Amino acid sequence: MRVPVIALKRRQWEPFAFASPALVLIAIVIVFPLIYSFYLSLRDFDLSVGSDSTFVGARNYAEALLRDERFIASVWNTVVLIVPSLVCELLAGLGIALLLNRVTHGRPIITALLAIPAMVSPVMAGMAWRMMFGVKYGAINNLGRQFGLLDVYFDWFSSPFMSVVAVVLVEVWQNTPFMMLVLLAGLQSIPQELYESARVDGASPRQSFWHITLPLLKFTMVVGVMIRMIDLTKLFGLIFVLTFGGPGGATETVAFNTYLVGFKDFRMSYAAALSYVIVGGVLIMTLAFQFVQRWREARAA
């Protein structure tokens, strides 16, 4: 009678045994550091001054949210970068997905090719475009000059506005393919019969687009936008290589500012607090987005 008992026990600990390496590692490398970071954020640990620190409670958070002009400016900068990027990625992604949807042969190759920008590192994308933006020898200015469109010396980073444009451009270049893939998958899940019966009913292509495609694509678009929005809040590598936050602080994103505080000023506690403010912000933003979506859906019903 011992075998069933052992068998029962084994059943209970076997899954644990299988998952334990992962669980242990996650606990040590992710969960513990995050807790430690929160603990740090309640102190005033500053590596540039020394290794001692005292407990200061929520002071870092108060400073970040109320008195740190540079951090608040970086929040605004991040928003300024997110909104145009999302809009452009959605529109361009939709356009390309629609085009690609009409193609039958060659689609896998084109899809794979178009996906490449999304698979390279933002740092590499940033470097490639930085060279292309080069004032005197970059591809864009060379092209512009060759066609007589651009002035002798057009600098893409000469003003805060142009720098934002440049960053948005590279972001859109890199991530439209993702949006396009998501929307393409969504388009392909729409049953053809709907279009057929619409055409039989005399609907123009534009009408079927507005009344069939878009509504059925809405959910996919929402998912895509949410994923991209969360990714955009993490904008760091691209900024590092393309503008390093410049000119002045015009393209300093929240992640970049926190990096400077933590690894240039070495104010680790304050940086930890900033990172939690960012996490909180992303959470609120995501929840707000979902809330708005549900509210609009409820209204439409």
Partner 1 sequence: MSTLVGTTPAVAVRRANRHRVGRLIADVFTYLGLAVTLVFFLGPFAWILTTSLKGNNDFFAFPPVWIPSDPSLAHYVGLFTRASGLRYFLNSLTISSMSMVAALLVSLPTAYAIARWRFGGTVFGTFLLVLRMLPAIALIIPVYLMYKTLGLTNSYLGLVILYTVVYIPFAVWLLVGFLRDFPVEIEEAAMIDGCSRVGSLIRVVVPIIAPGMAVVALFSFIATWNEFLFAVVLTGIETKTMMVLVTTYTSGGTDMFYGEASASVVLGVLPAFAVAFMLQRYLVKGLALGGTKG
Partner 2 sequence: MRQLGFVAVLLVLIAVVAAGVLPVQAPAQGAKPYEGTTIRAVVNAEYVKYSLSLVEKDLYDKLGIKVDVEVIPLDAFVPKTLLEFNSGSSPWDLIMFGPSNMPDYGRHFEPLEPWTQKLKLDFQLDDIADVYKKLMLRHNGKLVSMPYDGDVHMLFWNKVAYERPDNKKKFKEKYKYDLQPPKTWKQWDDASEFFHGWGWDGTDNKLFGAGASYKPSGSGYSYHWWRSRFFSYGGQYFDADMKPLINSAPALRALEEMVRTISYYPPGVLLFESEEPKTMLVKGEIPLLYSWTSTGKRVGDARESVIVGKAGFGLVPGAEIDGKMIHRPAITPGRAMAVSKYSKKIEATMKVLEFISLPDQSLKIVMDPKTIMDPWRVTHFRSEKFRKAFPGAPEYLDAIEKSFPLVVPDPVIPGADEYQRKLSFEITEALAKRKPPKEALDSAAREWEKITDRRGRDKQKAAWGEKLAEMKAIGIEYHPDWAAKAK
Least distance (Å) between residue 89 CB and partner 1 = 13
Task: Measure the CA–CA gap between 22 and 103, rounded to whole angstroms.
Answer: 43
Task: Measure the CA–CA gap between 236 and 259, rounded to whole angstroms.
Answer: 9
**Residue range at the interface with partner 2 (CB under 8 A); choices 139-147, 148-156, 221-229, 274-282:** 148-156
Residue 149 touches partner 2, criterion: CB under 8 A: no
- Whole-angstrom CA distances from 111 to 96, 120, 162, 183, 294 are 10, 15, 31, 12, 32
Q: Which two tokens stand for residue 279?
A: 């996490």
Least distance (Å) between residue 160 CB and partner 2 = 5
Q: Which is nearer to partner 1, 166 or 255 (CB)?
A: 255
Least distance (Å) between residue 48 CB and partner 2 = 7
As a whole number of angstroms, the longest Cα–Cα distance in the chain is: 91
- Whole-angstrom CA distances from 28 to 43, 135, 172, 194 are 22, 48, 36, 52
Task: Name which of residues 215 to 254 contact partner 2 (CB under 8 A).
Answer: 243-244, 246-250
Q: Check: CB of residue 235 under 8 Å from CB of residue 256.
A: yes
Least distance (Å) between residue 55 CB and partner 1 = 17
Q: Which two tokens stand for residue 300?
A: 């439409």
Task: Give how far the C-alpha of residue 71 lies from the chain's centroid of Cα atoms, to the nearest Å.
Answer: 19
Binding mask 117-136 for partner 2 (x = CB under 8 A): ------------------x-
Q: Which is nearer to partner 1, 80 or 270 (CB)?
A: 270
> 80 CB contacts (<8 Å, ≥6 apart)?
164
Residue 149 touches partner 1, criterion: CB under 8 A: no
Least distance (Å) between residue 159 CB and partner 1 = 20
Task: Measure the CA–CA gap between 118 and 125, rounded to whole angstroms.
Answer: 9
DSSP3 helix / strand / coil % (the chain, rounded to 5): 75, 0, 25
Least distance (Å) between residue 238 CB and partner 2 = 16
Query: Out of partner 2, partner 1, none, which partner does residue 143 contact, by CB within 5 to 8 A per kind?
Result: partner 1
Task: Measure the CA–CA gap between 124 and 271, rounded to whole angstroms.
Answer: 26
At which residue do the structure tokens 């009913």 appear? 201
Query: Out of partner 1, partner 2, none, which partner does residue 18 contact, by CB within 5 to 8 A per kind?
Result: partner 1
Bridge partners, 169 (sequence order): none
Residue 265 touches partner 2, criterion: CB under 8 A: yes
Task: Measure the CA–CA gap between 275 and 258, rounded to whole angstroms.
Answer: 7
Task: Name which of residues 162 to 191 contact partner 1 (CB under 8 A).
Answer: 173, 176-178, 181-182, 185
Residue 263 touches partner 2, criterion: CB under 8 A: yes
Task: Name which of residues 89 to 148 contact partner 1 (CB under 8 A).
Answer: 95-96, 99-100, 102-103, 108, 110-125, 127-132, 134, 136-137, 139, 142-143, 145-146
Task: Name which of residues 224 to 283 contact partner 1 (CB under 8 A).
Answer: 227, 230-231, 233-234, 236-237, 240-241, 244, 254-255, 258-259, 262-263, 268, 271-272, 275-276, 278-279, 282-283
- Whole-angstrom CA distances from 78 to 115, 118, 232, 272 are 25, 20, 8, 19
Binding residues for partner 2, rule: CB under 8 A, are 46-49, 69, 135, 151-155, 157-160, 243-244, 246-250, 263-267
